[in-house]
């Protein structure tokens, strides 16, 4: 592998990156690790909310899966706290730093494909698989362009009028809930396109500091809200900015205290469930450039660095996949759209509209690297990333406690 250090520009900032240039002779598929696919029929993120709401609707009489935390059985009030970016592998390696989380009852479940926030959170709250809800990544192709789903923008402009969130993702959140579900989230995550797309019009309780999250949960639980959804993104932000070192460890300690504070704030008998959307992989400055042999057939690039979609000229997908496998098979799984769907990565066969958002060929690194999209160099700032199907990214915790 030919590796050079070169300066790359990232949204006006200079970022030093280790760039892997295309090379001959990628790994044979038999030399690659197996991807961790979502366990659509078992312990998987899309079954969490339907199971919780089913238990609330019929306490003690609904069959709770054996892999679900025991405290859920018979619960009359549940708080679901989602900790963005908290992978099971990272948590297990640092159990001594997080005694409260380590005390939870439960175990690992799988995230979704791609293992990224926009797709995973939509899957969690709707109970629908990506093939159904269609929020299939961080940057999604639409109408010959690429939309940043988290910013809900096209070419830097607000896309809420041109791409109405309720049209893009039509399924309701928390279906079957006993009344409106209060959502406890950061103050700046309120009236955004992505919020509208995955949560819809719900009662928002926005906090400015983590203590405010605890206060909001305490008040809602004391007011007898049967189900509360809370979201905290600190782990993900720190991992992206600083990697998985000392800053990550200290943030995990703070998150553990936050979980303990939430648990203490709940009335006796209430149940706290903690899960995540994905884990993380330390990538640092490692970047894979997609070579001209591939790019000459590419018309559009979408997705993210660890789940990179290539949209190609009609009839070119097979050749692009073969070339990509030869050049990048030592660091990434390469699949055509048809192969990915047939192998169940998205949980089913997508509609024509959802399928139109997918590229023709996808590059999914199993090595700690990412594929560069020249139109989205801001990703170069991210030291830890996610999106792929490695154990570090795909396994997430599902833990429960009953408040005393």
Q: State the distance between the two ends of the chain, measured CA to CA, in whole angstroms.
A: 57
Q: Is 76 domain-assigned?
A: yes
Distance CA 276, CA 101 (A): 12
The percentage of residues in the chain with a pLDDT greater than 90, rounded to a whole number, is 85
User: Among 315, 313, 357, 307, which residue's Cα sits nearest to residue 335?
Assistant: 307
Q: What is the pLDDT of residue 57?
A: 87
Whether residues 104 and 248 fall in one domain: yes
Q: Tell me the mean pLDDT in the region 185-195.
A: 89
Q: Is 376 domain-assigned?
A: yes
Distance CA 124, CA 130 (A): 10
Q: Tell me the mean pLDDT in the region 225-241.
A: 97
Whether residues 81 and 103 fall in one domain: yes
SS3 202: coil
Given a cut of 70, is residue 372 above it in pLDDT? Answer: yes
Q: What is the pLDDT of residue 109?
A: 98
Given a cut of 90, is residue 23 above it in pLDDT? Answer: no
Given a cut of 80, is residue 377 above it in pLDDT? Answer: no
- Per-residue pLDDT tens over the stretch 247-261: 999 999 999 999 999
User: Sorting pLDDT into bands at 50, 70 and 90, what band is 292?
Assistant: very high
Distance CA 399, CA 72 (A): 10
- Per-residue pLDDT tens over the stretch 147-162: 999 999 998 899 999 9
Q: For residue 131, give the CATH number of its domain.
A: 3.40.720.10
| Owning domain of residue 368 | 3-9+283-383
Q: What is the pLDDT of residue 28?
A: 58
- Per-residue pLDDT tens over the stretch 28-55: 566 899 999 999 999 999 999 999 999 9
Q: Is 28 domain-assigned?
A: no
Given a cut of 60, is residue 85 above it in pLDDT? Answer: yes
Whether residues 227 and 374 fall in one domain: no
Whether residues 309 and 261 fall in one domain: no
Given a cut of 80, is residue 7 above it in pLDDT? Answer: no
Whether residues 289 and 232 fall in one domain: no
Q: Per the structure block, which two tokens stand in for 5?
A: 């250090």
Q: What is the pLDDT of residue 12?
A: 36
Q: Is 26 domain-assigned?
A: no
Distance CA 148, CA 116 (A): 13
Whether residues 64 and 163 fall in one domain: yes
Q: Is 36 domain-assigned?
A: no
Q: What is the total count of domains within the chain?
A: 2
Q: What is the pLDDT of residue 6?
A: 31
The sign one gets for the Cα dihedral 338, 340, 343, 346 is negative
Question: Of the given ranges (36-45, 197-206, 223-232, 342-351), which has the lowest mean pLDDT?
Answer: 197-206
Burial 126-135 (b: 16+ CB within 10 A, else e): bbbbbbbbbb
Q: Is 293 domain-assigned?
A: yes
Q: Is 25 domain-assigned?
A: no
Output Rg (C-alpha) for the chain, integer angstroms.
21
Whether residues 294 and 379 fall in one domain: yes
Give the count of alpha carbons within 13 A of 329, CB side only: 18
Given a cut of 90, is residue 9 above it in pLDDT? Answer: no
Whether residues 213 and 356 fall in one domain: no
Distance CA 154, CA 149 (A): 9
Q: Per the structure block, which two tokens stand in for 119?
A: 């797709």
Q: What is the pLDDT of residue 27?
A: 53
Rounded to the nearest angstrom, the gap between the alpha carbon of residue 95 and the centroid of all alpha carbons in its chain is 22
φ/ψ region of 176 (left if φ > 0, alpha if ψ in -120 to 50, else beta) reads left
Whether residues 212 and 81 fall in one domain: yes
Mean pLDDT for all residues in the chain:
92
Given a cut of 70, is residue 22 above it in pLDDT? Answer: no
User: Among 287, 291, 308, 364, which residue's Cα sits nearest to residue 333?
Assistant: 364
Q: Per the structure block, which two tokens stand in for 85?
A: 């970016």
Whether residues 394 and 317 fall in one domain: no
Whether residues 292 and 246 fall in one domain: no
Q: For residue 292, give the CATH number of its domain.
A: 3.30.1360
73 in Cβ contact with 55 (< 8 Å):
yes
Rounded to whole angstroms, the maximal C-alpha distance in the chain is: 63
pTM: 0.92
Whether residues 165 and 185 fall in one domain: yes
Distance CA 68, CA 392 (A): 21
Q: Is 264 domain-assigned?
A: yes
Q: Tell me the mean pLDDT in the region 114-140.
A: 97
- Tell whether omega for the bond before 70 is within 30 degrees of 0, i.e. cis: no
């Amino acid at each position: 592998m030919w590796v050079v250090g070169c300066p790359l520009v990232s949204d006006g900032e200079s970022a030093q990156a280790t760039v892997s240039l295309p090379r001959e002779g990628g790994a044979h598929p038999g030399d690659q690790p197996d991807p961790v696919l979502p366990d659509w029929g078992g312990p998987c993120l899309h079954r969490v909310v339907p199971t919780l709401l089913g238990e609330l609707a019929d306490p003690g009489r609904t069959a709770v899966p054996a892999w679900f935390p025991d405290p859920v059985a018979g619960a009359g009030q549940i708080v679901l706290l989602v900790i963005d970016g908290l992978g099971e592998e990272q948590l297990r390696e640092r159990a001594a730093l997080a005694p409260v989380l380590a005390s939870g009852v439960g175990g690992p479940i799988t995230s979704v494909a791609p293992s990224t926030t926009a797709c995973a959170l939509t899957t969690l709250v709707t109970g629908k698989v990506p093939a159904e809800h269609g929020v299939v990544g961080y940057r999604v192709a639409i109408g010959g362009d690429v939309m940043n789903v988290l910013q809900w923008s096209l070419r830097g402009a607000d896309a809420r009028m041109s791409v109405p969130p309720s049209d893009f993702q039509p399924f309701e959140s928390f279906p079957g809930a006993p009344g409106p579900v209060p959502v406890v989230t950061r103050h700046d995550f309120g009236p955004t396109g992505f919020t509208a797309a995955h949560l819809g019009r719900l009662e928002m309780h926005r906090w400015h500091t983590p203590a405010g999250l605890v206060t909001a949960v305490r008040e809602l639980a004391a007011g007898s809200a049967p189900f509360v959804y809370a979201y905290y993104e600190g782990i993900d932000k720190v991992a992206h900015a600083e990697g998985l070192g000392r800053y990550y460890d200290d943030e995990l300690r703070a998150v553990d205290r936050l979980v303990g504070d939430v648990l203490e704030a709940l009335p006796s008998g209430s149940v706290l469930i903690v899960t995540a959307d994905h884990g993380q992989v330390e990538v640092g400055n490692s970047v894979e450039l997609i070579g001209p042999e591939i790019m000459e057939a590419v018309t559009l690039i979408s997705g993210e660095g660890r789940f990179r979609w290539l949209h190609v000229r009609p009839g070119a997908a097979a050749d692009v996949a073969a070339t990509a496998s030869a050049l990048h098979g030592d660091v990434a799984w390469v699949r055509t759209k048809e192969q990915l769907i047939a192998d169940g990565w998205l949980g089913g066969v997508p509609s024509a509209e959802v399928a139109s958002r997918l590229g023709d060929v996808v590059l999914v690194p199993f090595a700690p690297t990412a594929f560069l999209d020249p139109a989205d160099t801001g990703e170069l700032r991210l030291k830890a990333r996610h999106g792929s199907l490695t154990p570090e990214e795909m396994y997430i915790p599902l833990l429960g406690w009953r408040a005393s």
